[in-house]
Amino acid sequence: MKVRTRLVLSFTYALLVVIVALTVPLAIVLRDRARAELEALALANAQTTAALLDASQLDEGRPRERLVDDIGRFAEDVGGRVVVLDPDGVVVADSDGEDVGQRYDTPGRPEVENALDGVVSAGVRPSRDEGGDIVVAAAPVVEDGELVGVVRISRDVEQVQRNVTTATIAIAAVAMAGLAAGLVLAFVLARSLSRPLSHLASVARGLGRGDLSMRAGPVSGGDELEQLGRSFDEMAARVERTMGAQREFVANASHQLRTPLTGIKLRIESALAESHDPVVLHELRAMDAEVDRMAGMVDSLLVMAREIEEGQQTHVDAREAASRAAERWADRAAAAGASVSAAGEPVVALTNPGDLGQILDVVLDNAITYAPGPIEIRTAADGTRAIVSVQDHGPGIASEELARVTERFYRGRGSPGRGSGLGLAIARELAEKWGGSLGVSSETDAGTRVEVRFRRVRQEAVDVGTDAGTPVAT
C-alpha cells in the first residue's frame, strides 16, 4: 500500500473515531435532556392544575359537569389527558371520558400511589393503551390540609421523540459533512507528505541504477523530510566520490600492474627460448604459469570493480548469446576433451550483451576446467523471467561447499592450482546488477547446473523499443 493511501486511511480512522465519540454521547444527552424537560413540564402542569381545581367539586354528591368542563380546558392547555381521582384512587372525571369509575391506584401507575401519599411525581414509561411511551405526572389536591383528590396528567412523547430523531439526524449529517471535509484535508495533507517521499524514492532508484549524479535537492514537507533529503544528497556525494576514487585506483592499478607483468612475461619467454637445462626449464614454466594466473586475477579484479555502465537498460536475445558463447568456446572445449552445445527457446533478457557474455564465459570456463565432457547451454522463459542455464556432467560439487561457490575468492578443496576464486562471484554480481540472480545446484557424480535468471522483456516491448527507445520488462 502506498504511503499516501496509508496516511489518508489513518487520518480517516482517527477522524471517524472522534466523530463517533462526540456525536453518540451528544445524541444520548439530547434525548435525556428532552425527556427531563418533558417530565418537568408535566409535573408543573399537574401542580398548576391541582392548584386551580376547585376542590369543592370533588365532594361526594356534587354535580360533576363543571369539573368535566374544567379538566377539558386543562387538557387542551397541556395538550394531553387530565384525570381526576378521589382519595380512594377512583376516577371521578376524565377529559377523554373513558375511565370514570375505574381504580387508578394500581402498581402500574406509581405516580398515582405517590400522589395519594401526598407526593408529587412524574416519569416517562411505556403505555400498553397508547402503544408507546408516555409522560405522566400526578399531584395531590389538598383542601384545608386534607387530601381530597389527585390530578393526573398524561401525554405521549411521540412528538418529542420525532424532534430528538430529527436533531440526531441533523447531528449525523453535520458529522458526515465534517468527515467528508476531513477526507479532503487528509488527501491534501497526505499528498503533500507523500510527494517528497516519492521524489526521494525515484532519486534512490536512479542512484541504484548507477546514475551517481542523482540528487534529491531541496525537499519540502517538514524539518524531518528536509533533513532526510540533505542526508541523502550527502550520502550520494560520498558514494560518487568513492566510486570516482575507485575508478582512478582501477585505472592506475591496471597500468601499474599490467606493465611489469608484461615485462616479466617477456623475460620468462626469452629465458625459456634460451635455456636447455631441464630443471631451469621446469622452474621457468612454473613461473610463466604463475604470471598468467596473476594476470588473470588482475583481469578478474578489474571486471569486479567495473562500475555499472551508463545509459538505459538494454535487451539481449539470450538464445543468440548462448549460441555465440558455444562457438567461442568450441576450440577450447575440444582441446580439453569436452563439447559445448546451445539449445532452447528464444527469449529476451533485460541485460546487455557484454554482461551476459561475461557470465557465460565464466561458467563455461569453470565447466570445461572442472567437468570436461558434454556441456549444454539452454534458454527458456518462466513467466516474467528469462532463464539461461549451463549443465555439465562432471563429478559435481560437495553439498557443504555448494553454498559458498559464489563467494569471492572461494576455491573448493578439489580445485586445481590455477584460478582466483572470483569467476562465479563476478557472474553473480553481473546478474544481480540487472535485477537477476545466479543459482548453482549439483549432485555428486551427476554434474552441476548453473542457472541465471534475468527479468524477461515482452516481445511487443522489444518491437517498440527497437524504434522508440527503452523496452519494458515484464
pLDDT digits (tens, 9 = 90+) for 3-43: 556 666 676 767 677 777 767 777 777 777 777 887 888 88
pLDDT of residue 7: 61
Q: With cut-offs at 50, 70 and 90, classify the pLDDT of residue 285.
A: confident
Q: Residue 470 above 50 pLDDT? A: no
Cell 371521578, residue located: 92
Determine contact, residues 297/330, Cβ cutoff 8 Å. no
Which range (105-119, 244-258, 339-353) has the least confidence?
244-258
pLDDT of residue 323: 94
447 residue type, one letter = G
Q: Residue 467 above 60 pLDDT? A: no
Q: What is the largest CA-CA distance in the chain?
A: 162
Q: Residue 307 above 60 pLDDT? A: no
Domain 315-468 has CATH 3.30.565.10: yes
Domain at 3-162, CATH from 1.10.3720.10, 3.50.50.60, 3.40.50.720, 3.30.450.20: 3.30.450.20
Domain 223-305 has CATH 1.10.287.130: yes
pLDDT of residue 468: 37
Q: Where do the DSSP E strands lie in 157-271?
A: none
Q: Residue 122 above 80 pLDDT? A: yes
Q: Which of 7-16, 179-188, 339-348 has the highest mean pLDDT?
A: 339-348
Q: What is the mean pLDDT of residues 438-457?
A: 88
Q: With cut-offs at 50, 70 and 90, classify the pLDDT of residue 386.
A: very high
For residues 368-378, one letter each, b for 16 or more C-beta atoms within 10 angstroms of the residue's C-beta and e for the rest, the string is bbbbbebbbbb
Kindly report the backbone phi and psi dihedral angles of residue 164, in degrees, each rounded to the nearest multiple of 5, phi listed first: -65, -45
SS3 of residue 470 by DSSP: coil
Domain boundaries, the chain: 3-162, 223-305, 315-468
pLDDT of residue 450: 93
Q: With cut-offs at 50, 70 and 90, classify the pLDDT of residue 369.
A: confident
Q: How far apart are CA 166 and CA 160, in angstroms?
A: 10
Neighbours of 29 (CB within 10 A): 10
Cell 394531553, residue located: 80
DSSP state of 53: S
Q: Which three cell numbers stand for residue 259?
A: 606493465
Q: What is the mean pLDDT of the chain?
A: 78
Q: Residue 282 above 70 pLDDT? A: yes
pLDDT of residue 308: 42
Q: Where do the DSSP E strands lie in 318-416?
A: 339-344, 348-350, 374-382, 385-391
The percentage of the chain sitting over the pLDDT mark of 70, rounded to a whole number, equals 76
User: Which comes out higher in pLDDT, residue 85 or 308?
Assistant: 85
pLDDT of residue 16: 72
Closest CA to 290 of 308, 272, 264: 264
Tally of helices (H runs) and strands (E runs) in the chain: 12, 12
pLDDT of residue 398: 79
185 vs 11, 170, 329, 397, CA distance in Å?
9, 22, 66, 62
pLDDT of residue 449: 92
pLDDT in tens, 213-233: 778 777 776 677 778 778 888
Q: What is the mean pLDDT of residues 102-121?
A: 86
Residue 473, Cβ density class (10 Å: 0-12 exposed, 13-18 middle, ≥19 buried): buried
Q: Which three cell numbers stand for residue 450?
A: 548453473
Helices 65-78 & 3-52, crossing angle to 10 degrees? 160
User: Which comes out higher in pLDDT, residue 295 or 40?
Assistant: 40
Which range (128-142, 337-351, 375-389) has the least confidence?
128-142
Q: Residue 465 above 50 pLDDT? A: no
User: Which comes out higher in pLDDT, residue 473 or 433?
Assistant: 433
Which range (157-171, 283-297, 358-372, 433-447) has the least confidence?
157-171
DSSP state of 397: -
The percentage of the chain sitting over the pLDDT mark of 90, rounded to a whole number, equals 13
Which range (19-33, 253-267, 402-416) has the least confidence?
402-416
> DSSP H helical segments within 53-84, as ranges?
65-78
pLDDT of residue 53: 80
